[in-house]
């Protein structure tokens, strides 16, 4: 499967997005870059049981001009699985240019979109992640990747919060990830100058 991947972790200064759309490109965030790793949990509770899986995510590629990113997700303590389960996902940056708040696919209705997006803070980068395939196990592993994730990213601390949506699974399976310190990008903060 061909995948668009940008090797550089910083977008080019003259990307052409503003000239194509009339809008400036989204602000860059060094914590949302290729190679960045995150770790946390996904709550997969249902009415019968309360369960959380340890999860690791790595961004493999990012193309801000086209609102695209991709990576891998590893679930570590999945019942019925002998090894960690790794999936490859592709993501959409909800930027109003390439992708909007309305999903229009994966069995999500506008009402589903509103219900999920309203759980996140305003003015934070919003994304959708769709797992495409299992990397290290077969499709008969007992898990499904039919749904997708509504995701909110914090540029201030690199945390990721999200919800898995699949109309045939438990609703609002919460994903909570923290950025793993290290790598070449480091932490950033905003600075302002009052005139």
Q: What average pLDDT score do residues 1-20 get?
A: 46
pLDDT of residue 85: 93
How far, in Å, CA of 56 to CA of 39, rounded?
Answer: 4
Backbone region of residue 115 per phi and psi (left: phi > 0; alpha: psi in -120 to 50; beta: other values):
alpha
Q: What is the pLDDT of residues 136-190, one digit of tens each?
A: 988 877 788 999 999 999 988 889 999 999 998 888 999 999 999 875 444 444 4
pLDDT of residue 86: 96
Q: Please report whether residue 4 resides in a domain.
A: no
Position 14 pLDDT exceeds 60: no
Q: Please report whether residue 94 resides in a domain.
A: yes
Q: Please report whether residue 133 resides in a domain.
A: yes
Position 94 pLDDT exceeds 80: yes
How far, in Å, CA of 175 to CA of 181, rounded?
Answer: 19
- Which of 72, 155, 161, 79 has the alpha carbon at shortest distance from 116? 161
How far, in Å, CA of 140 to CA of 112, rounded?
Answer: 28
pLDDT of residue 6: 45
How far, in Å, CA of 117 to CA of 97, rounded?
Answer: 18
pLDDT band at 123 (very low <50, low <70, confident <90, very high): confident
Backbone region of residue 16 per phi and psi (left: phi > 0; alpha: psi in -120 to 50; beta: other values):
left
- Which of 20, 19, 8, 91 has the alpha carbon at shortest distance from 57? 91
Percent of the chain scoring above 90 in pLDDT: 54
Q: Please report whether residue 11 resides in a domain.
A: no
**DSSP structural state of residue 103:** -
Range of the domain at 44: 29-179
Position 103 pLDDT exceeds 80: yes
Position 83 pLDDT exceeds 70: yes
Q: How many Cβ atoms sit within 10 Å of the Cβ of residue 19?
A: 8
CATH number for the domain including 127? 2.40.128
Furthest C-alpha separation in the chain:
62
More confident call, 68 vs 23: 68
Number of domains forming the structure of the chain:
1
pLDDT band at 131 (very low <50, low <70, confident <90, very high): very high
How far, in Å, CA of 36 to CA of 122, rounded?
Answer: 24
Note whether 101 and 122 are within 8 A (CB): no
Q: Please report whether residue 117 resides in a domain.
A: yes
Q: What is the mean pLDDT of the chain?
A: 82
Q: What is the pLDDT of residues 32-72, one digit of tens each?
A: 889 999 999 999 876 556 788 899 999 999 999 999 999 99
Lowest mean pLDDT among 43-47, 89-93, 100-104, 109-113: 43-47
Q: Please report whether residue 187 resides in a domain.
A: no
Position 29 pLDDT exceeds 90: no
Q: Please report whether residue 13 resides in a domain.
A: no
Q: Please report whether residue 6 resides in a domain.
A: no
């Amino acid at each position: 499967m061909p995948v668009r991947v940008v090797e550089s972790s910083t977008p080019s200064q003259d990307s052409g997005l503003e000239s194509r759309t009339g809008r400036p490109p989204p602000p860059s965030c060094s914590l949302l870059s290729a190679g960045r790793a995150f770790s946390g949990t996904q709550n997969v509770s249902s009415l019968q049981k309360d369960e959380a899986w340890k999860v690791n995510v790595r961004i493999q590629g990012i193309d801000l001009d086209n609102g695209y990113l991709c990576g891998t997700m590893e679930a570590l303590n999945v019942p019925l699985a002998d090894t960690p389960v790794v999936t490859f996902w592709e993501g959409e940056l909800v930027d109003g240019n390439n992708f909007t708040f309305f999903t229009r696919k994966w069995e999500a209705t506008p009402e589903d979109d509103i219900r999920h997006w309203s759980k996140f803070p305003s003015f934070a980068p919003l994304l959708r992640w769709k797992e495409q395939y299992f990397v290290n196990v077969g499709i008969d592993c007992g898990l499904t990747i039919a749904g997708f994730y509504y995701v909110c990213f914090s540029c201030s601390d690199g945390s990721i919060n999200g919800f898995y949506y699949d109309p045939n699974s438990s609703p609002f399976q919460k994903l909570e990830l923290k950025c793993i310190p290290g790598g070449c990008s480091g932490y950033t903060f905003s600075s302002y100058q009052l005139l």
